[in-house]
Structure 1
């Protein structure tokens, strides 16, 4: 198993958000984490990266226990992260933003991987453009490129299609499919678009009030489950 959670609880201060969450991510799998806003989806991603205040339970990457390791070490195990809101540094150039991802590489190569520029031609043509001037879709491309610069085995994407035009949603979906199915990078993504989840996902995790309430192969994510746990 590539990544495993075993009875993981996670806290911000004294407030518990995740409650005994367990799941496994297999090599080459795309796992979609779904649920209403505010139920703990983002906290799952932040817990994987070590960005909450406290966790209990076991988190392993391959054979390595990582629950007590700082975020930079977790990135060094091959975990790339595209946070909700993208986390782009507006005053940095496109080039500088992507290069930030290389700091976590085990080979410490201070160069932009060719993959990042091959799949996002706009970024290649605008490396010296200030990132704050990019559109929402271009910033998402940049955030994905920065995460890929880590050289990840696992790519975490928190709401990757949020606030993006429909044509760009399709484009990013195709790129994620290529990264997953052709290059073998495992994906965990939180999603509100059910069509995107069903198109990309191999498996799903439905979350409600910090707990896993359903999980399984993506074809077992029924309309009834979606209506029960995702409609307002």
Structure 2
């Protein structure tokens, strides 16, 4: 397995948010994480990145234990993270935002990767535009490009289609599909759009109250499961 979590519990302060999580992610797979708001989906990604207060259990990347490693070290093992809300720097240019990702590279390169320019033609044509002037969909493209600049093996995406126009949702879904199937980057994404999850995902898991309550190949994500674990 490229990524392994073994009995991982994750805390904010003294409160456990994730409880005894176990999962194995093969290289090249796209895993969709689903569930209602507040069940621990974002915390799962933040835990993998080392952004919660404390964890117990084991987190391994390609067999190497990283559960005690700081975030910047985990990035060098091949983790790229696109947080909810994108968190681009609005007063930096497109190029400057992308180059921030290069500090996690292990090959010393500090230029805009060709892959970013190929996947996102608008960004390629507007490298010197202030990021704060981009639309929501363009900012999401920029957040993905910044994560790609780390040269990741695994991309963690928190609600990548949230608050984006439907036509851009399809475009971003297509881009993520290319990254996964054409370029071989392993994906974990939290997602509320069932159609996006079914189109992109190889496998799914559903969460409730910080625990995994259902999982399997994407074709086993039935309407009944969605009704039970996602409707309010």
SS at match of 1:86: coil
Aligned residues: 232
d(CA) in 2 for partners of 1:221 and 1:72? 34
Tell me, which stretches of 5 or more residues in structure 1 are unaligned? none
Aligned-pair CA distance for 1:63: 1.3
Give the equivalent residue in structure 2 for 1:25: 25
Alignment of 1:44-123 (within 5 A): 44-123=44-123
Quick one: distance in 1 between partners of 2:52 and 2:154? 19
1:86 Cα deviation from its structure 2 partner: 0.4
Output the CA distance in 2 between the equivalents of 1:108 and 1:88: 23
Cα shift at 1:87: 1.0
1:204 deviation in Å?
Answer: 0.4
C-alpha deviation, 1:11, in angstroms: 0.5
Match of residue 151 from structure 1? 151
Alignment TM-score, normalising by the size of structure 1: 0.99
Question: 2:220 and 2:7 mapped to 1: Cα distance?
Answer: 23
Tell me how far apart the structure 2 counterparts of residues 188 and 87 of structure 1 sit (CA, whole Å).
Answer: 18
CA distance in 2, matches of 1:206, 1:31: 11
1:115 deviation in Å? 0.3
Alpha-carbon RMSD: 0.5
Secondary structure of the equivalent of 1:103?
helix
- The 4+ residue runs of structure 1 with deviation greater than 2 A are none
Question: Distance between the aligned counterparts of 1:148 and 1:100, measured in 2?
Answer: 11
Structure 2: segments with no counterpart, 5+ residues:
none
TM (norm. structure 2) is: 0.99
